[in-house]
Amino acid sequence: MRQSELEALLKDMSLQEKADQLLQLNGTFYTGELDEIATGPIMEMGLKSEDICQAGSILGTYGAERLKEIQKKYMEKQPHHIPMLFMMDVIHGMKTIFPMPLAMGAAFDPSVAYTAAEIAAKEASVSGLHVTFSPMADLVRDARWGRVMESTGEDAYMNSLYTAAQVKGFQGDSGNLREKYKVASCVKHFAAYGGAEAGRDYNTVELSEQTLREYYLRSYQAGIDAGVALVMTSFNTVNGVPASVNTWLMREVLRKEMGFEGVLISDYAAIEETICHGVSEDKADAAEKALKAGVDIDMMTSCYSGHLAGLIRGGKLEEGILDEAVMRVLQLKNKLGLFENPYKDADPEEEKRWILCEEHRKAARDAACKTFVLLKNERDSDGTALLPLKKGKKTAFIGPYVENQELLSSWAVTGSKEDCVTIRNAAEAVLGEEAVFACGCPIFGNDMEIPSFNGNIRCDVSEAERKGMLEDALKKASEAEQVVLCLGEHSAQSGEAASRTMLDIPEIQMELFREIYRVNQNIVVVLFSGRPLDLREISRKARTVLEVWFPGTEGGNAILDVLTGVQSPSGKLPMSFPYCIAQEPLHYDHYNTGRPNPNGRVEKFRSRYLDAPNEPLYPFGYGLTYTEFSLSEVRLDREQMEADGMITASVIMKNEGTVFGTETAQMYIRDLTASVVRPVRQLKGIQKVSLMPGESRTVSFEITREQLQFMASDGKEVLESGRFAVYIGTDSTTENCAEFVLI
């Protein structure tokens, strides 16, 4: 449709019809006949059956046949036959599930996330979907927050690269949403959802404007610059005002300053929740505030549908403000080509062809291999380490994750655990007789109960069964030469509404670990987690630790690829792993303070803890490989840079070991003196370098003003002359550094 046709359409719509274009309901409203629904969910929400027929969009339901049927049925009922939008959380895969987003961050390679998004878009679009609520661009610094697993980590620069890559992956490089196999992407949760106080989900966010702009807003901006079609509001308050009714945040910052012109959707029920926040009197008041703030779609409440028409009739709202929001929704439908083809790519035949096809599974497996982080791989006196596993050695695979298919992580609602390849499946195929298996214990004991999307999860193993499991595991561990111990959090221990105050592995598994350690100390821990954990004991006792996060559908195969050395680990930590929980929130790009405490000095009147180091156990950017790389000193091609000039910083990297490997060269910059305090260092460049044994390569980074600018105290980007330090290394603690002056 041309814009003039959209305008004519809008003009012809009734007030209620317009309000309903802004209503988003979930699929349960469209499961049966209207009469049945009218007595159930509609009544509970205070909606009329007419609103159901006119709703602009549906969330959380998929399948080509089903969505085609809904589209056909409800377009007939809609007075102007306007097609619906179908939206869903397709976060890290549709049916072929890739590693969880934090793991993708560990690849330190946005192209991996691009491919995952492209494949997810293909599977989603043939399943009838038009919009995905992804990527989550929230910066995270507190491992207690369960949703760190949905982020790509603690660094604003990396998150920006990943956000842009995912938006492009979903929407295509051209951004033409009519293209086949593309879906519209939605950057969320605007803004600063990851800054929840004390890591408790949905909690208050208090940030200085400088911190908000300099750290938290950057990745959303990257999504907008990449052409994202939608943005989602966050549940939290931002400096006292809930984001979903925060006019300054949405109209001034998001629309005017950041240049977002697409559809702004509330998070689930977030408009109505402003009543609970204590800033809206009732639903009508919430609707008025949210629309005034510029929120276009009301997800899953009747605030807009039930009240906007009345507010306009009563003179509390201008009709123009409603028209503005409805036009944006119509424009999105038009960009997707739905007025001409309401079913877009929905096609049952294509679903069969693409969903979980070999090509997609292979991409998921390759991606997973790149996300694993080798935290420790101790060598013995003759220089050999446990990984990669050596042929001909008997290996006992022990632990609750050996046969567990729950490898998808919490936000993978379209995936099925039944499609997952377990460690045992893969190990049997690769190692045959050399491998034996035992569960050892359940993931958690009878002392715990974990709420999940599908009800509460409990452990139903009796004491006698547990004893039997342990005995079997101990027997197999003592007869084997080495043990691969597959441990970790339950997948429902991270994700939405899954904040924790302890970053531990369930005690029942730690007991198993200690028991196994008594009989066999050649332990490789394969660690599953949705967040950084406190690994003090594990990392002290186990000879090898491999973090595999929640690796997705092809998890088992990927783990075996890396354990056996078919692929070498190359992941890097996208979040600091704390020494202990009390260090949280924790991030490498902190300020120095006036009394820093370098090298853990024991001295009074320093900024330090009495009982723990300031440093994390494993820092941001850290991760080992099966080989060793050396780096030369940092070389700068000049010592001074002009404001519009450029400096090239380089190092020579060499593979000093005997096997092929991939390292990540990381460039950090520190502004040594500025008008506001600058972080001790900030990541400004990454490059993956793959080298054969003995091979070396020069790795160069270009430094321009973009990497040196920062947010001054008045909220404006500035470039200030002075000294800068450039670090190039393989994690965020590198001291390999050179200095230059910006004149």
* Contacting residues toward ligand BGC, per CB under 6 A: 59, 89, 133, 188, 267-268, 496
By DSSP bridging, strand 661-671 and strand 682-691 are: antiparallel
Nearer to ligand BGC, 89 or 345 (CB): 89
Minimum separation from the CB atom of position 320 to ligand BGC (A): 29
User: DSSP alpha helices (H): ranges in 191-344?
Assistant: 209-211, 217-225, 247, 273-277, 283-293, 303-313, 319-335
Minimum separation from the CB atom of position 658 to ligand BGC (A): 46
Nearer to ligand BGC, 59 or 249 (CB): 59
Give me the amino acid identity at 13.
M
C-alpha–C-alpha distance, residues 380 and 482, integer Å? 14
Question: Peptide bond preceding 492: is omega within 30 degrees of 0, i.e. cis?
Answer: no
Nearer to ligand BGC, 94 or 477 (CB): 94
Minimum separation from the CB atom of position 150 to ligand BGC (A): 7
Give 395's strand partners.
435, 482
> Residue 100, Cα to own-chain centre: how many angstroms?
7
The single residue of 155, 267, 296, 534 carrying the catalytic annotation is 267
Nearer to ligand BGC, 188 or 654 (CB): 188
C-alpha–C-alpha distance, residues 108 and 572, integer Å? 7
> Count H helices, E strands: the chain?
24, 29
Is 714 designated active site?
Answer: no
Nearer to ligand BGC, 267 or 671 (CB): 267
C-alpha–C-alpha distance, residues 649 and 511, integer Å? 49
**What does the H/E/C string look like for 672-722?**
CCCCCCCCCCEEEEEEEEEECCCCEEEEEEEECHHHHCEECCCCCEECCCE
User: DSSP alpha helices (H): ranges in 208-282?
Assistant: 209-211, 217-225, 247, 273-277
Nearer to ligand BGC, 137 or 480 (CB): 137
Minimum separation from the CB atom of position 250 to ligand BGC (A): 17
Secondary structure letter of residue 624 according to DSSP:
B
Nearer to ligand BGC, 192 or 486 (CB): 192
Minimum separation from the CB atom of position 496 to ligand BGC (A): 6
Burial 666-677 (b: 16+ CB within 10 A, else e): bbbbbbeebeee
Minimum separation from the CB atom of position 186 to ligand BGC (A): 8
Residues in the chain: 743
CA R_g for the chain: 27
Minimum separation from the CB atom of position 453 to ligand BGC (A): 10
C-alpha–C-alpha distance, residues 708 and 515, integer Å? 52
Minimum separation from the CB atom of position 16 to ligand BGC (A): 25
φ/ψ of residue 122, rounded to 5: -65, -50
C-alpha–C-alpha distance, residues 452 and 462, integer Å? 22
CB contact at 8 A, 256 and 303: no
Name the residue whose CB lies closest to ligand BGC: 133
User: DSSP alpha helices (H): ranges in 480-569?
Assistant: 507-519, 536-541, 555-563
Nearer to ligand BGC, 495 or 569 (CB): 495
C-alpha–C-alpha distance, residues 309 and 311, integer Å? 6
CB contact at 8 A, 241 and 275: no
Nearer to ligand BGC, 133 or 550 (CB): 133
Chain position carrying tokens 């083809």? 341
Minimum separation from the CB atom of position 265 to ligand BGC (A): 9
CB contact at 8 A, 22 and 305: yes
Q: Which residues are catalytic?
A: 267
